[in-house]
């Protein structure tokens, strides 16, 4: 079964069989059981030699090339080289997908893909620059600034991309109203690479600094260098239109029209500038010319509706605005002005409907200088007329907050021009249906394209992560192995062998909490696999989920031969969950067959103590210490039992030894303080309580929530 389209012919679902079909590695895993050590002999499997089968010669494209190379290297046993090719493939694939999501304005999906791609290929200047540009365009200015600065510091030799990084940083600083700094960055960009976008952005920065002479000079030089074209005049006009030098925009718009009378959107923009400079009649004439070229342009009908409303010709205004809505039903502007008309002509019900629709459609409150503020203000007045005072106050409060934001936004209006694409779209005529609107909408075709790409790459991406996890596990890099398996699961949860690989790697690295979920799924699908149950049971025990340990191991206890460690955690879990007699009985049996395990003696001693058999309990604890003199828990248990029996003299050295062996265990210090108090050693008792309080406070402030949903202690 081959993936379609872009990756068709080079990825096969069956290319990576599960780990357990391959090389078996015997590994000694040393792990802690309640702060004691034990040796567990595991069989840990690895998918390395011969893991992929021949899918034919790779054909075309860097993605295909890297994936094919990785598989060939893996088959040849060159695992480190294969891992490098898998990482390159993943970085390229995820980067391409991230750019796709940035093109449809979905930063929440694009950003983590960029982050992961850069984790895999941290030295990729193209990835870092694409991420920087995306963060800027989609509004994450703080992160965009960090990324741009990082690029400038790390890649000073890449002149062309370095210029782009300075340009992007300049744009960011403009948006942050740090105009002088922005100008320096943009001047650096032009000096490194005198392209049209770099020069254009520098001219915009000059306008933002009210340096008209600078902007005029740059635009003049650009016309000499790039030719006298209508697109160039349009871009220059748009820069002037969004500055304090709007009159300069008019001749530039007229030159664009002279050179291309049928260019969509230019009459609208010229009309808007004329309207802004109080030439209402001239603006109306340009809007009507625009309708000849773009008869379905919603924004043009909206502008004509506003002009008619200003002249109190409400019937004509309503007609224009309803047409605007029919051609642009998702734009809030026409609803706002229609609501104003209805409010003015005493039609409050219609006004409320239109104004609420305006608010609903305004996904960006800063649109058109927070014009939605007017909708909230009028809704407040309507609510007052209806006697709904609480609702009225809420609307008025929003209106006031937005009015305050308007003042703060005005200074940075030119920075927004750069995101409208004036400089970089110079080579292509603007689209008739979008030129007059700054609303950015996800292109359905672009969205379909990026989703198709995701569908096409998900299987090889999951396979690559799975193989990276297997390679990392064989290098004993279990932490990264687990991360790779987690990523593989995100892309293909049903990948054969993934849960087994993931759980075993987590267990081998003593990441018991990470092992539980994948092993639980694996055991659910393979209930007769006693080995997997054993590993899952131990993992549940290690995170304190004793009931979970019992539930996992119960189906195989007594029905198959299990490792002594598995028998131990099962018996200890029974004691922890209150089944003391049964647990002690199992520990006694385990002690007879494995007298060499100190943990068994210690746990049995604890159980016997709870049952009131102090002599036998003391005997077991002494045996545990004899087998493992460095086991702090055994010394503590023995000392505590002697304290409870009133033998302070015998208890004190045991507790002191426990503290020496484990100086950061707060309960050890607390019990030793109790012993010192009983022995009238007040200064020593005070010292131990101070240490206890310090350790307890540290634990309370730093301990994360338990990994198990239902841990039992």
pLDDT band (50, 70, 90) for residue 52 = very low
Q: What is the pLDDT of residues 150-204, one digit of tens each?
A: 999 999 998 999 999 999 999 999 888 898 899 999 999 999 998 888 888 899 8
Q: Under a CB-based contact definition with an 8 Å cutoff, are residues 313 and 290 in contact?
A: no
Q: Under a CB-based contact definition with an 8 Å cutoff, are residues 590 and 583 in contact?
A: no
pLDDT band (50, 70, 90) for residue 702 = low
**Predicted local confidence at residue 20, as pLDDT:** 32
Q: Is the pLDDT of residue 711 over 50?
A: no
Closest CA to 481 of 459, 502, 510: 502
Give me the CATH number covering residue 636: 1.25.40.10
Q: What is the pLDDT of residues 275-292, one digit of tens each?
A: 988 999 999 999 999 999
**Predicted local confidence at residue 208, as pLDDT:** 84
Q: Under a CB-based contact definition with an 8 Å cutoff, are residues 300 and 287 in contact?
A: yes
**Predicted local confidence at residue 110, as pLDDT:** 92
**Predicted local confidence at residue 704, as pLDDT:** 52
Q: Which residue has the higher pLDDT, 11 or 256?
A: 256
Instruction: Specify if 287 maps to a domain.
Output: no
**Predicted local confidence at residue 579, as pLDDT:** 92
Q: How far apart, in whole angstroms, are the C-alpha atoms of residue 408 and residue 694?
A: 49
> What is the CA angle 575-41-551, rounded to 5?
35
Q: What is the pLDDT of residues 205-255, one digit of tens each?
A: 888 888 999 999 999 998 888 888 999 999 999 999 888 899 999 999 999
b vs e for 365-399, b when ≥16 Cβ sit within 10 Å of the residue's Cβ?
eebeebbbbbbbbbbbbbbeeeeeeeebeebbebb
Q: What is the mean pLDDT of residues 21-49?
A: 28
Q: Count CB neighbours of 313 within 10 A.
A: 14
Closest CA to 503 of 514, 495, 492: 514
Instruction: Specify if 620 maps to a domain.
Output: yes
Q: Is the pLDDT of residue 2 over 80?
A: no
Q: What is the pLDDT of residues 464-485, one digit of tens each?
A: 999 999 999 999 999 999 999 9
Q: Is the pLDDT of residue 407 over 80?
A: no
**Predicted local confidence at residue 417, as pLDDT:** 37
Instruction: Specify if 651 maps to a domain.
Output: yes
**Predicted local confidence at residue 635, as pLDDT:** 92
The per-residue DSSP string of 20-47 comes to GGS-EEEEEEEEEETTEEEEEEEEEE--
Q: How far apart, in whole angstroms, are the C-alpha atoms of residue 644 and residue 665?
A: 20
Q: Under a CB-based contact definition with an 8 Å cutoff, are residues 288 and 304 in contact?
A: yes
How much is the mean pLDDT over the chain?
83
Instruction: Specify if 640 maps to a domain.
Output: yes
Q: Which residue has the higher pLDDT, 224 or 338?
A: 338
Instruction: Specify if 328 maps to a domain.
Output: no
Count the domains in the chain: 1
Q: Residues of the chain with pLDDT > 90: what percent?
A: 59
Domain carrying residue 558 = 511-702
Q: Is the pLDDT of residue 410 over 60?
A: no
Q: Which residue has the higher pLDDT, 60 or 154?
A: 154
Q: Is the pLDDT of residue 24 over 90?
A: no
**Pair of tokens at residue 552:** 């996992």
Q: What is the mean pLDDT of residues 366-389?
A: 89
Q: Count CB neighbours of 546 within 10 A.
A: 24
Q: Count CB neighbours of 531 within 10 A.
A: 17
pLDDT band (50, 70, 90) for residue 554 = very high
Q: What is the mean pLDDT of residues 553-574?
A: 88
Q: Residues of the chain with pLDDT > 70: what percent?
A: 84
Q: Which residue has the higher pLDDT, 370 or 564?
A: 564
Rounded to a whole number, what is the distance in angstroms from the first to the last CA of the chain?
49
pLDDT band (50, 70, 90) for residue 341 = very high
Q: What is the pLDDT of residues 85-119, one digit of tens each?
A: 999 999 999 999 999 998 888 888 999 999 999 99
**Predicted local confidence at residue 703, as pLDDT:** 54
Instruction: Specify if 635 maps to a domain.
Output: yes
Q: How far apart, in whole angstroms, are the C-alpha atoms of residue 179 and residue 70?
A: 48
pLDDT band (50, 70, 90) for residue 428 = very low
Residue at token pair 């849960």: 499
**Predicted local confidence at residue 363, as pLDDT:** 85
Closest CA to 21 of 67, 52, 63, 42: 52
| Maximum distance among all Cα pairs of the chain, rounded to whole angstroms | 108
Instruction: Specify if 546 maps to a domain.
Output: yes
Residue 225: half-sphere exposure toward Cβ, Cα within 13 Å: 12
**Predicted local confidence at residue 678, as pLDDT:** 94
Q: Is the pLDDT of residue 369 over 80?
A: no
**Predicted local confidence at residue 198, as pLDDT:** 87
Instruction: Specify if 713 maps to a domain.
Output: no
């Amino acid at each position: 079964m081959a993936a379609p389209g872009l990756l068709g012919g080079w990825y096969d679902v069956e290319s990576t069989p599960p780990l357990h079909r391959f090389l078996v590695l015997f590994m000694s895993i040393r792990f802690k059981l309640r702060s004691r050590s034990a040796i567990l002999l595991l069989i840990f499997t690895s998918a390395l030699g011969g893991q992929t089968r021949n899918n034919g010669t790779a054909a075309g494209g860097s993605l295909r090339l890297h994936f094919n190379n990785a598989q060939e290297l893996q088959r040849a046993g060159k695992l480190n080289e294969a891992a490098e090719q898998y990482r390159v493939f993943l970085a390229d694939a995820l980067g391409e997908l991230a750019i796709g999501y940035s093109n449809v304005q979905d930063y929440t999906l694009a950003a983590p893909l960029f982050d992961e791609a850069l984790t895999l290929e941290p030295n990729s200047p193209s990835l870092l620059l694409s991420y920087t540009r995306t963060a800027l365009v989609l509004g994450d200015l703080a992160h965009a600034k960090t990324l741009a600065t990082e690029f400038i510091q790390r890649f000073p030799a890449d002149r062309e991309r370095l210029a782009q990084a300075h340009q992007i940083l300049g744009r960011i600083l403009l948006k942050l109203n740090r105009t002088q700094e922005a100008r320096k960055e943009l001047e650096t960009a032009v000096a490194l690479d005198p392209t049209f976008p770099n020069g254009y952005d520098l001219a915009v920065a000059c306008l933002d600094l009210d340096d008209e002479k600078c902007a005029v000079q740059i635009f003049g030089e650009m016309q000499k260098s790039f030719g006298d074209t209508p697109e160039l005049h349009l871009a220059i006009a748009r820069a002037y239109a969004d500055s304090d030098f709007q009159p300069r925009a008019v001749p530039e718009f007229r030159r664009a029209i002279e050179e291309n009378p049928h260019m969509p959107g230019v009459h609208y923009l010229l009309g808007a500038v004329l309207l802004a400079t109080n030439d209402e009649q001239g603006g109306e004439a340009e809007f009507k010319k625009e309708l000849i070229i773009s008869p379905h342009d919603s924004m043009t009908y909206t502008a004509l509706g506003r002009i008619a409303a200003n002249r109190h010709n409400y019937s004509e205004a309503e007609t224009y605005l309803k047409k605007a809505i029919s051609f642009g039903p998702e734009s809030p502007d026409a609803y706002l002005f229609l609501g104003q008309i209805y409010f003015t002509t005493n039609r409050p019900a219609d006004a409320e409907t239109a104004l609420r629709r305006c608010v609903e459609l305004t996904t960006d409150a800063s649109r058109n200088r927070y014009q939605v503020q007017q909708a909230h203000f009028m809704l407040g007045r309507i609510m007052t007329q209806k006697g709904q005072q609480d609702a009225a106050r809420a609307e008025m409060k929003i209106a006031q907050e937005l009015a305050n934001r308007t003042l703060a936004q005005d200074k940075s209006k030119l920075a927004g021009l750069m995101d409208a694409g004036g400089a970089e779209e110079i080579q292509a005529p603007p689209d008739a249906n979008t030129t007059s609107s700054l609303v950015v909408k996800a292109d359905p075709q672009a969205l379909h394209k990026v989703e198709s790409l995701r569908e096409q790459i998900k299987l090889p991406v999951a396979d690559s992560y799975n193989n990276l996890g297997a390679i990392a596990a064989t290098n004993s890099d279990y932490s990264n192995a687990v991360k790779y398996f987690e990523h593989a699961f995100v892309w293909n949860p049903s990948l054969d062998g993934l849960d087994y690989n993931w759980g075993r790697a987590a267990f081998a690295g003593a990441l018991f909490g990470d092992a539980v979920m994948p092993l639980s799924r694996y055991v659910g699908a393979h209930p007769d696999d006693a080995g997997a149950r054993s590993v899952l049971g131990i993992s549940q025990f290690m995170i304190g989920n004793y009931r979970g340990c019992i539930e996992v191991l119960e189906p195989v206890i007594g029905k198959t031969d299990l490792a002594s460690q598995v028998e131990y955690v099962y018996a200890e879990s029974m004691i922890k969950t209150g089944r003391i007699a049964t647990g002690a009985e199992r520990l006694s049996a385990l002690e007879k067959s494995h007298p060499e395990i100190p943990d068994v003696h210690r746990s049995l001693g604890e159980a016997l103590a709870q049952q009131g058999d102090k002599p036998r309990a003391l005997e077991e604890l002494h045996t545990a210490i004899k087998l493992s003199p460095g086991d702090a828990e055994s010394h503590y248990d023995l000392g505590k039992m002697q304290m409870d029996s009133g033998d302070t003299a015998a208890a004190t050295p045991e507790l002191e030894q426990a503290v020496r062996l484990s100086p950061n265990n707060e309960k050890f210090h607390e019990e030793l303080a109790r012993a010192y108090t009983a022995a009238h050693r007040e200064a020593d008792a005070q010292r131990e309580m101070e240490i206890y309080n310090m350790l307890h406070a540290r634990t309370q402030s730093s301990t994360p929530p338990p990994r198990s949903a239902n841990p039992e202690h």
